[in-house]
Chain A
Amino acid sequence: MTAPAPLTATPARTATAVVTGIGVIAPTGTGTEAYWSATLDGRGAIAAIGRFDASGYPATLAGEVPGFAASEHLPGRLIPQTDRTTQMSLAATSWALADAEITPSELDEFGMGVVTAATAGGFEFGHYELEKLCGRGNKHVSAYQSIAWFYAVNTGQISIHNGMRGPSGVLVSDHAGGLDAVAHARRQIRKGSDLIVSGGVDGAVCSWGLVAQWAAGTLSESRDPSGAYLPFDLAASGYVPGEGGAILIVENAASAVRRRAPRIYGVIAGYASTFDPREGSGRAPGLRRAIELGLADAGIGPGDVDVVFADAFGTPELDRIEVDAIACVFAAYGVPVTAPKTMTGRLFGGGAALDIAAALLSIRDGVIPPTVNVDLAPGYPIDLVAGSARTATVRTALVLARGHRGFNSVAVIRSPEAIAA
Chain B
Amino acid sequence: MTRRVAITGIGVVAPGGVGVKEFWSLLTDGRTATRRITLFDPSPFRSQVAAEVDFEPAALGLGPQEIRRMDRAAQLAVVAAREAVAGSGLDVAGTRPHRVGVSLGSAVGATIGLEDEYRVVSDNGKLRLVDHRYAQPHLYDYYVPSSFAAEVAWTVGAEGPATVVSTGCTSGIDSVGYGCELIREGSADVMIAGATDAPISPMSAAAFDAIKATTPHNDDPEHASRPFDARRKGFVLGEGAAVFVLEEIEHAKKRGAHVYAEIVGFASRCNAFHMTGLRADGREMAEAIRIALREARLDGTEIGYINAHGSGTKQNDRHETAAFKRSLGEHAYRTPVSSIKSMVGHSLGAIGSIEIAASALAIEHGVVPPTANLHNPDPECDLDYVPLVAREHRPHVVLTVGSGFGGFQSAMLLADHERVRR
Q: Is chain B found bound to chain A in the same assembly?
A: yes
Enumerate chain A interface residues (CB-CB to B < 8 A): 1-9, 52-53, 56-58, 81, 109-110, 113-114, 118-120, 123, 126-127, 129-139, 141-143, 145-147, 150-153, 155-157, 159-160, 162-174, 177, 180, 184, 187, 191, 207-217, 272-278, 283, 286, 289, 348, 403-407
Given contacts A138-B44, A165-B269, contact A129 B203 (CB under 8 A): yes
| Bound: A206/B296 CA distance, A | 47
Chain A nearest Cβ from B318, distance in angstroms = 20
Contact B208 A170 (CB under 8 A): no
Which 10 A/B pairs are nearest by Cβ-Cβ distance?
A: A156-B406, A134-B125, A135-B125, A216-B140, A215-B139, A405-B150, A151-B166, A212-B143, A138-B206, A141-B206
Q: Which of A114, A131, A172, A406 counts the most B-chain CB atoms under 10 A from its CB?
A: A172
Contact B163 A4 (CB under 8 A): no
Chain B nearest Cβ from A101, distance in angstroms = 21
| Bound: A38/B223 CA distance, A | 61
Residue B36 is within 8 A (CB to CB) of chain A in the complex: no
Q: Which B residues from 203 to 261 make CB contacts under 8 A with A?
A: 203, 205-211, 213
Contact A7 B4 (CB under 8 A): yes
Q: Which of B101, B209, B269 counts the most A-chain CB atoms under 10 A from its CB?
A: B269
Given contacts A174-B146, A177-B163, A212-B140, contact A406 B269 (CB under 8 A): no
Contact A169 B130 (CB under 8 A): no
Enumerate chain B interface residues (CB-CB to A < 8 A): 2, 4, 44-45, 97-98, 101-102, 107-109, 114-115, 117-119, 121-122, 124-126, 128-132, 135-147, 149-150, 153-154, 157-168, 171, 174, 178, 181, 184-185, 187, 202-203, 205-211, 213, 264, 267-276, 284, 287, 295-299, 302, 396, 404-408, 419-422
- Chain A residues positioned under 8 Å from B130 (CB to CB): 207-208, 211
| Bound: A210/B132 CA distance, A | 9
Given contacts A151-B109, A152-B166, contact A4 B146 (CB under 8 A): no
Contact B135 A212 (CB under 8 A): yes
* CB-nearest residue of chain A to B421: A3
Interface of A is mostly: mixed
Given contacts A134-B119, A151-B145, A172-B146, contact A211 B163 (CB under 8 A): no
Q: Which of A151, A156, A187, A275 is close to B162, meaning CB atoms less than 8 Å apart?
A: A275
Chain B nearest Cβ from A124, distance in angstroms = 12
Q: Which of B2, B208, B268 is close to A7, meaning CB atoms less than 8 Å apart?
A: B2
| Bound: A406/B405 CA distance, A | 30
- Chain B residues positioned under 8 Å from A278 (CB to CB): 153-154, 157
- Chain A residues positioned under 8 Å from B205 (CB to CB): 138
Contact B165 A169 (CB under 8 A): yes
- Chain A residues positioned under 8 Å from B147 (CB to CB): 404-405
- Chain B residues positioned under 8 Å from A142 (CB to CB): 210
Contact B161 A156 (CB under 8 A): no
12 A–B pairs (Cβ distance < 8 Å), ordered by A: A126-B114, A130-B122, A135-B126, A141-B203, A143-B211, A152-B404, A156-B406, A160-B273, A168-B270, A168-B407, A170-B165, A170-B166
| Bound: A142/B162 CA distance, A | 34
Chain B nearest Cβ from A360, distance in angstroms = 23
- Chain B residues positioned under 8 Å from A165 (CB to CB): 269-272, 284, 287
| Bound: A180/B143 CA distance, A | 19
Contact A167 B124 (CB under 8 A): no
| Bound: A378/B207 CA distance, A | 53
Contact B272 A146 (CB under 8 A): no
* CB-nearest residue of chain A to B138: A215
- Chain B residues positioned under 8 Å from A110 (CB to CB): 269, 287
Contact B122 A274 (CB under 8 A): no
Contact A146 B208 (CB under 8 A): yes
Contact A146 B211 (CB under 8 A): yes
Q: Which of B102, B140, B206 is close to A145, meaning CB atoms less than 8 Å apart?
A: B206
Contact A167 B163 (CB under 8 A): no
- Chain A residues positioned under 8 Å from B297 (CB to CB): 4-7
